[in-house]
């Protein structure tokens, strides 16, 4: 069996497009092993499989804080994640988020889930468990298990800012539900006032018609 394959088969082996292979060649990220005078490119299939494995073995470090005034803490998390990944010799990328632990629509979190579902990472690293989500982190961990993604939590003790952030998250829940509750009541009260106003105006009009004096015939 010939170990050297053409561009089309190489792209299929890696699960990428031919354009991606050409871009990698230009950037020297992945160059053909052989090239004919006519310009036909050949890749060593064994090297491609090794490259594919290397590309898929990416570790994601995820950091999050709830508010802008915690940016210093965010930087500390990122530095800790970077140092941990480097010390273990892992190829890594840091994803950071700014938002409540109750917010499931954060940009970084959604990107992390996409990477997990697409088999793009092999490891997820957190400084603390609650950096991922306040409630529901177990769902993400289940996705990781299904996609064979290892989860590493550097510090398994309770985060020092846990109580402060938990209070903030609970306050956020109360604020949202209060706004909805009072908004609903306000809408109902407005409708009630409109109905009462219509009813009152209608009765006034009828009363005026009843008490209006009739003209005597000459």
Strand order in the sheet with 4-6: 4-6, 41-44, 34-35
- Is residue 171's pLDDT more than 80? no
CA distances from 201 to 64, 176, 190, 213 (A): 58, 37, 16, 20
Nearest in space to 62 (alpha carbons), one of 124, 114, 107, 16: 124
The mean pLDDT value of the chain amounts to 81
CATH architecture, range 55-162: 3-Layer(aba) Sandwich (3.40)
- Is residue 27's pLDDT more than 70? yes
**pLDDT tens figures, 100-139:** 877 888 999 999 999 998 888 999 999 998 899 877 889 9
* In the block, residue with structure tokens 């940009």: 107
- Tell me which of 66, 87, 168, 186 is the catalytic residue: 66
Domain 4-47 class in CATH: mainly alpha
**Under a CB-based contact definition with an 8 Å cutoff, are residues 11 and 17 in contact?**
yes
Query: Is the dihedral angle over the CA atoms 18, 24, 26, 32 positive or is it negative?
Result: negative
Q: How far apart are CA 184 and CA 210, in angstroms?
A: 39
Return phi, psi of residue 62, to 5°.
-115, 125
Give the end-to-end CA distance of the chain in Å, rounded to a whole number. Answer: 123
- The domain limits of the chain are 4-47, 55-162
Strand order in the sheet with 123-126: 92-98, 59-65, 123-126, 150-153
Strand bridging mode 123-126 / 150-153: parallel
Scored b (16 or more CB within 10 A) or e, 38-74 reads eeebbbbbeebeebeeeeeeebbbbbbbbeeebeebb
Same fold flag, 4-47 and 55-162: no
Is 66 a known active-site residue?
A: yes
**pLDDT tens figures, 34-46:** 999 888 999 999 8
**pLDDT tens figures, 46-92:** 888 887 766 667 899 999 998 888 889 999 999 999 999 999 988 88
């Amino acid at each position: 069996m010939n170990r050297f394959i053409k561009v089309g088969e190489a792209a299929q082996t890696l699960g990428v497009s031919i354009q991606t292979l050409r871009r990698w060649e230009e950037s020297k990220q992945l160059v053909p092993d052989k090239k004919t005078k006519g310009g036909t490119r050949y890749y060593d299939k064994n090297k491609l499989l090794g490259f594919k494995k290397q590309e898929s073995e990416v570790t994601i470090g995820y950091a999050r804080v709830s508010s802008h005034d915690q940016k210093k803490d965010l930087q500390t998390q990122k530095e800790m994640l970077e140092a941990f990944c480097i010390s273990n010799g892992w190829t890594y990328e840091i994803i950071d988020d700014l938002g409540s632990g109750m917010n499931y629509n954060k940009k970084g979190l959604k990107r992390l889930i996409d990477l997990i579902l697409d088999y793009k990472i092999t490891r997820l690293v957190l400084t603390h468990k609650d950096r991922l989500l306040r409630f529901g982190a177990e769902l993400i961990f289940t996705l990781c298990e299904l996609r064979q993604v290892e989860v590493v939590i550097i510090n398994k003790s309770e985060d020092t800012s846990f109580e402060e952030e938990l209070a903030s998250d609970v306050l956020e829940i109360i604020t949202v539900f209060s706004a909805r509750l009072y908004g609903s009541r306000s809408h109902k009260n407005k409708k009630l006032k409109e109905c009462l106003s219509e009813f009152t105006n209608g009765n006034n009009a009828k009363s005026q018609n009843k008490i209006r004096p009739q003209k005597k015939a000459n």
